[in-house]
Amino acid sequence: MGNKLIYIIRHGETDFNKLGIVQGSGIDSDLNPRGVQQAANFYAFYKEINFQKIYTSALKRTQQSVLPFIETGKPYQILPELNEISWGIFEGKPQNESERLAYWEVVNGWKNGNYSAKIEAGESAAEMQARQLPVVQLLKAQKEDCVLIATHGRAMKSLLCTLLNLPLSAMESFEHSNLCLYIVNFNGETFELISRNSTTHLR
């Protein structure tokens, strides 16, 4: 089995991102004008790459981030398993100081190995990772040797940990920004990170 290249992007900017408001899986927001431009810039930079399949989450902001590729006829598939983590009662609204503290308490819990920590009515890191496992199996089994995945910030962190056989406590080592790119190679047995948080295409 030959090498497979997996390009993984976070979606472009939304107004929620601009305002610093948590979206999560329950907020199906559109890209804002800057996000649309980021998607256009990414396409202009990588349009010569032969992506044989594109995978997106079920949320519009990921689909809009790769729309220029889809419009050329590239095959794509929507995978709800790639959706962002659910942030429960915090989704879609500005946080007060106590809510921000609760948010960071959960994130720091994950850093310290408490993967079952979650926001009320939300999803834990362990639950998110478990629902992503079919995506990992799909990537291993697919016949395509170059694919593009459009997902979300926290979902990307979890997916990278799983692909690279790292504990979820390592999620915070994967920095990200809107329309950033990670590239992973699969050699038939293991995944290797070959590009980290690249934003060259946005400059």
Predicted pLDDT of residue 33: 98
d(CA 87, CA 74): 32
H-helix or E-strand spanning residue 99: helix 97-111
- Output the CA–CA distances (angstroms, integers) from residue 23 to 45, 61, 136, in the order listed: 28, 11, 24
The sign of the CA dihedral 192, 4, 168, 39 is positive
| Of residues 38, 35, 16, the one with CA closest to residue 26 | 16
pLDDT above 90 as % of the chain? 98
Label the pairing between strands 146-151 and 53-56.
parallel
pLDDT (tens digit per residue) in 65-76: 999 999 999 999
Predicted pLDDT of residue 1: 54
What three-state secondary structure class fits 131? helix
Task: Write the DSSP symbol of residue 54.
Answer: E
d(CA 179, CA 194): 17
d(CA 37, CA 39): 5
CA 107 to chain centre: 17
Give the predicted TM-score (pTM) of the model.
Answer: 0.97
Spans of the chain, pLDDT less than 50: none
Beta bridge pairs of residue 192 = 185
d(CA 105, CA 188): 38
Domains and CATH numbers, the chain: 4-202 (3.40.50.1240)
Neighbours of 115 (CB within 10 A): 19
